[in-house]
Amino acid sequence: MLPTGKMELVCPAGSMPALKAAVDNGADAVYLGFRDGTNARNFPGLNFDLDEARRAVSYAHQHGARVFLAINTYPRPAQWQKWCRAVDQAATLGIDALILADPGLMDYTARTYPDLRLHLSVQGSATSHEAIDFYVRHFGVRRVVLPRVLSLTQVQNIMRRASAEVEVFGFGSLCVMVEGRCALSSYVTGESPNSNGVCSPAKHVKWEESADGRRSRLKGVLIDVYAPDEPAGYPTLCKGRFEVGGNIYYAMEEPTSLNVLAILPELYRAGVAAIKVEGRQRSPAYVAQVTRTLREAIDACVADPETFSPEVRWVSVLDKVAEGRSHTLGAYSRPWQ
Amino acid sequence: MKLSLGPIQYFWERERVLDFYASVAEAPVDIVYLGETVCSKRRALRLTDWLDISGGLAAAGKEPVLSTLTLIEAESEISHMRTIVENGHYDIEANDMAAISMMENVAPFVIGPHVNVYNSRTLDILARLGARRWVMPVELDRETLAALQSSRPANLETEVFVYGRLPLSFSARCFTARAHKLPKDECGFCCANYPEGMSLKTREGQSFLNLNGIQVQSGETYNLVNEIGELQALGVDVLRLSPQPQGMFEIIDVFRRVMDGQMESSVASGMLAPYQTAGTCDGYWRGAPGMQRLQTSYEALTE
């Protein structure tokens, strides 16, 4: 895959106002899901029913943006029919691509709707050209979203051989585990990204005030304790402070956001087709700010990748809305690993 | 029903691995999964060593299966996997779609627990491509298994992880190196000092998780010894035990005896208790949070 003179900006739409914010601020595409467990951001108050999805597609298309719909959880036998009906409904919407993770559901879709463009969700855990080939060969997948675990060099190597377009995460909350291969949330709460489209769900979160500070619990398990003057973050269970070998620290990952502005030219030159923004659970204001900033950055990068460098104001705007108000290149940068 | 030993998830030194499998040759297990599934940097044993071990186990009447790496990141890992896949002697347990992609229509293979098989259609596709056995992903429950069993493709065996610390997640980051403030590229193989992983506790001292290189395991030991009758009734073909440094051969014996109807599971629970340093859990099997223990405990039964 070589640079095509374009690198798409794909933005999250957890609601109609967020979708409008993304489209109005320059997203090339938006991604959304139905209001149920068929997608990996199954949060209360988010997402779209069929009529809303129809209006969303209409608004996006009128304004020149594409729409991807995610049905990216793994249905169990008892859920199979419902997930197939979600695909059937999606097929009536005129969407531009369906984002799937489950091989069975991909097979159903590819055979029932051969003209519907398929993207492999990040939940599909494809981290090599060989795995990508599998999904291309069997289901005609046209684009693959890579898990946030590869270094820049590894992404570049995949790009040399990939038989489908590649989309990578560019900004948003960082998942430190391989997506689609993490059962930590179900271990604690019974609900996981694969099965329920949630991680560390809010209904299991409890906050307690105690003498040593504010405590966050996830279904009873102590995730973190914050000193009185310390800002408290959402208790995603891999981003708490725990004790290992007598030390208390962020044993898995700090609360921080991924931000790839610094390596945008490298991603572009490698032929990455699209940069994805995480955050369907975030506000329309977040979507507007992040979309506007990344739009400017990507346009500048594509116009002149050789001289591109991230502007200070972009970084500062993004840090303000970032988890932990800080950012990292994550696994793209070897030292992080 | 057959008994299997999963791959060693920890980084044990070479002699320890060789000694371990010399004893496994004498132990009442039927299937032995071999090889490194967690971190490609762990190379105390080469493929030739694993093939030698496989040969010894095959001569002792066991079925050796070579397991592949779970998280593939580098081209070198793909090439190494290809040499394992093309070993010419032993079957493969594929732990990633890349391995399945190499195996399809080439030779029969086992679908490892890290490939997301959640429904019958996925199972059908993989069976058509040559899968002869699948290992149920750990977060699935008995009702899901019952449904999958009822429409299982012909000649496809089902294996369930029934004992050991659950492999819950994988990352690009090495958590053992992080605990030692070392970069992953200069990890010094510090995970070799933790043959059972590093315990991660909450700030209240609750044993919560277990760090094993790039893998995070359950703190508690998953134990379905009380469910063997139900597993049998569901038509499960193979029960998997995950190797641990302490008491492995006692654990194998206990499971074998329960499977052969020579020991009550309540007695077995008591005999396994000393080898579960952070307690046990069985929540996933019952459709509950994985870390919960829902089966009435042996201690409660005998009080």
User: CA–CA separation, B64 vs B55, rounded Å?
Assistant: 8
DSSP A29: E
Q: Collect all residues with Cβ–Cβ distance below 8 Å to B291 and sequence separation of at least 6.
A: A187, A188, A221, B208, B218, B219, B220, B281, B283
pLDDT-based confidence at residue B303 (cuts at 50, 70, 90): very low
A9 or A257: which leads in pLDDT = A9
Dist CA A171 CA B152 (whole Å)? 42
Q: Write down the pLDDT at residue A2.
A: 56
Min CA distance, B254 vs chain A (Å)?
Answer: 26
Same domain, A154 and A265: yes
pLDDT at A211: 87
Q: Are residues A61 and A126 in the same domain?
A: yes
ipTM of the complex: 0.96
As a whole number of angstroms, the distance between CA B156 and CA B141 comes to 19
Please state the domain count of chain B: 1
pLDDT at B280 over 90: yes
Coarse DSSP helix, strand, coil percentages of chain B, rounded to the nearest 5 percent: 35, 20, 40
pLDDT, averaged across chain A: 95
Question: Per the domain annotation, does A51 fall within a domain?
Answer: yes
Q: Do B184 and A102 touch (CB under 8 A)?
A: no
Q: Does B204 touch chain A (CB under 8 A)?
A: yes
Yes or no, beta carbons of B118 and A149 under 8 Å apart = no
Note the pLDDT of residue A1.
57
Is pTM beyond 0.90? Reply is yes
Q: Which amino acid is at A329?
A: L
- pLDDT for residue B296: 61
Boundaries of domain holding B284: 2-302
List C-alpha distances in Å: A131 to A103, A128, B59, B98. 12, 5, 34, 4
Considering the domain architecture, whether residues A190 and A147 belong to the same structural domain is answered as no
The domain boundary, picked from A211, A226, A249, lies at A249
Rounded to an integer, what distance in angstroms lies between the CA atom of residue A294 and that of residue B208?
A: 39
Q: Does residue B106 sit at the A interface (CB-CB below 8 Å)?
A: no
Range of the domain at A145: 8-174+256-336
CA distance A213 to B203: 13
A90 with A61, same domain: the answer is yes
Give backbone dihedrals phi and psi of A185, rounded to 5 degrees, phi first: -65, -40
Which sign does the torsion angle of CA B58, B60, B61, B66 carry? negative
Residue A2 lies in a domain: no
pLDDT bucket at A3, cuts 50 / 70 / 90: low
Helix axes B120-128, B142-150, angle to 10 degrees: 50
Q: Is A298 on the interface with B (CB under 8 A)?
A: no
Residue count (chain B): 303
What's the rounded mean pLDDT across residues A264-268?
Answer: 97
Tokens for B258, please give them: 């329960």
The CATH code of the domain that includes B246 is: 3.20.20
Token look-up 């694969």 returns A194
What would the pLDDT profile of A155-205 be if each residue is shown by its tens digit? 999 999 999 999 999 999 988 999 999 999 999 999 999 999 999 999 999
B40 in contact with A at a CB cutoff of 8 Å? no
Cα torsion for A122, A127, A130, A133, to the nearest 10°? Answer: 20
For chain A, say whether B121 makes contact (Cβ under 8 Å). yes
State the best of B116, B143, B178, B281 to mutate against chain A, taking most chain A CBs within 10 Å: B116
* Local confidence band at B92 (pLDDT 50, 70, 90 cut-offs): very high
Q: How far is A194 from chain B (nearest CA, A)?
A: 9
* Chain A, chain B: beta-carbon pairs less than 8 Å apart: 213
Average the pLDDT over B57-80 and give the result: 97
Q: Is the same domain home to A245 and A328?
A: no
Q: Is B208 on the interface with A (CB under 8 A)?
A: yes
Outline where DSSP puts E strands in A72-184: 97-100, 118-120, 143-145, 165-173, 177-182
CA–CA min distance B122, chain A (Å): 4
Q: Are residues A136 and A212 in the same domain?
A: no
Is some CB atom of chain A closer than 8 A to the CB atom of B261?
no
Which residue of B139, B166, B290 is in closest CB contact with A194? B139
B41 and A CB contact within 8 Å: no
Give A210's strand partners. Answer: A213
Count of domains forming chain A: 2
Q: Which two tokens stand for residue B218?
A: 């359950």
pLDDT tens digits, residue range B95-148?
999 999 999 989 999 999 999 999 999 999 999 999 999 999 999 999 999 999
- A190 shares its domain with A151: no
Residues A193 and A318 reside in one and the same domain:
no
B183 touches chain A (CB under 8 A): yes
pLDDT band of B298, cuts 50, 70, 90:
very low
Confidence band of A105 (pLDDT split at 50, 70, 90): very high
CATH number at residue A49: 3.20.20.380
Q: Tell me the pLDDT of chain B averaged across its residues.
A: 95
Residues A228 and A206 in one domain: yes
Residues A164 and A200 in one domain: no
Closest by Cβ to A134, choosing from B77, B97, B202: B97
Examine the domain organization and report whether A149 and A219 are in the same domain. Answer: no
- Residue found by looking up tokens 């060969």 in the block: A137
Domain boundary among A205, A231, A249: A249
With the CA atoms of A71, B216, B144 and B276 taken in that order, what torsion angle do they form, in degrees rounded to the nearest 10? -170
Does one domain contain both A281 and A157? Answer: yes
Residue to mutate among B71, B123, B150, with most A CBs inside 10 A, is B71
Matching residue, tokens 């030692």: B180
DSSP-assigned letter for residue A44: T
A128:B72 CB<8 A: yes
Residue showing tokens 């050209």 = A129
Q: Cβ–Cβ of A76/B118 closer than 8 Å?
A: yes
pLDDT at residue A325, rounded to an integer: 82
